[in-house]
Structure 1
Amino acid sequence: MSEPDTIVPDEKDWTWVLYERCGECGFTAADVDPRHIGPTVRDLLPRYVSALSRTDARERPAPAVWSVLEYGAHVRDVFRIFGERLALMLEHDDPLFENWDQDATALADRYDLQDPSVVADELVEAGEATAAAFDEVPHDAWERTGRRSNGSFFTVGTLGQYFLHDVVHHLHDVRA
């Protein structure tokens, strides 16, 4: 099979969504009580399953725009990555997160060739696990810190808000 059309890598630093409303999806991360992240994720999971069940889930709306399937695989991996980052923050003092190149992962793992029903199941499993991890954050741990290699600094609370924007934003991308 041939490689999918190249997606222009998104090199923006999206941490600004912690302080401003996202003009694309309308989400305001700062308004989210971090204790509501788990329930919110669970509320959103059926919308992803529904989107991944569409007959056009494999079709890109434009050559350089991910399909619903590719977005679904990405969000599944977002759940996994942020679950790992949350665990690091709870287990270690001010951990430095490994870089994650989402575009390289999409190509290497061939998001475009994965089975939408399998991705839906994996997305729900990963989403439920990450939601549960946020549910279990101890009251005194929301201010624990972690960092990305680019210097972006997060507390457990802001990591959750940032993460939730990604989940909401991609529902907007797939029009679900």
Structure 2
Amino acid sequence: MPIVPDEKDWTWVLSRPCPECNFDSSTATPSTVPGSIESMIPRWLAVLRRPDAADRPDDQTWSAVEYACHVRDVFTLFVQRLNLMLTEDGARFADWDQDLTAIEQDYANADPSAVGPELAAEGHEAAESFARVREEDWGRRGLRSNGSEFTVLTLSRYFLHDVVHHLHDVDG
């Protein structure tokens, strides 16, 4: 059964802590981003080892494996966006329909034992990509299709919130 799409603009997490997951984006700095990513990977892998990882808690909520598929794809997407920002002045990001991706990639029927290594590999790549950002590049800018502007630093903060928030969603 399809989940109702989340159409909220979550960029507000860049200006205040998230009351649901308690993530405070202002605490993320260039030196802490890679380690923050790395620290969440084992927690995601533990979630995927749960016997009920593929079960939806209700008809309106993704299963843990569906959230993990989303996070795996978020890792990939944000590495792409980061690379775009580092190579193009005034980079523009194409729209990403996360709900359509979930259907097209069949997140609901994903195998947790296959998703775990994929998530880990993409997560390590994201951590390494942010670790390679030079100090002078953290202020480079990019524009999302809806007009939201990011620097590499605010992009990293926005990205971290997504991973933290979904870990909270699955009690990880």
TM-score (norm 2): 0.98
RMSD over equivalenced CA pairs, Å? 0.6
Q: State the distance in 1 between where 2:41 and 2:2 align.
A: 28
Q: State the distance in 1 between where 2:161 and 2:154 align.
A: 11
Pairs within 5 Å for 1:92-111: 92-111=88-107
- Corresponding residue number in structure 1 for 2:39: 43
SS of the aligned residue for 1:96 comes to strand
- Corresponding residue number in structure 2 for 1:132: 128
Pairs within 5 Å for 1:52-131: 52-131=48-127
- Corresponding residue number in structure 1 for 2:162: 166
Asked whether the 8 Å contact 1:76–1:122 carries over to 2, the reply is yes
Task: Report the alpha carbon displacement of residue 31 of structure 1 after superposing the two structures with TM.
Answer: 1.8
Q: State the distance in 1 between where 2:19 and 2:41 align.
A: 23
Deviation by residue 1:27-80 (Cα, 9 ceiling, x = unmatched): 011121132111111011000000001000000011110000000000000000
TM superposition outliers: structure 1 runs of 4+ over 3 Å = none
**Is 1:22 the equivalent of 2:13?**
no
Count, aligned residues: 172
Task: Report the alpha carbon displacement of residue 114 of structure 1 after superposing the two structures with TM.
Answer: 1.2
Q: Any gaps of 5 or more consecutive residues in structure 1?
A: none
Deviation by residue 1:105-152 (Cα, 9 ceiling, x = unmatched): 001110011111110100000000010000000010000000111000
Tell me which amino acid in the other structure corresponds to 1:166: D
Q: State the distance in 2 between where 1:84 and 1:32 align.
A: 20
Q: Any gaps of 5 or more consecutive residues in structure 2?
A: none
Tell me which amino acid in the other structure corresponds to 2:144: R
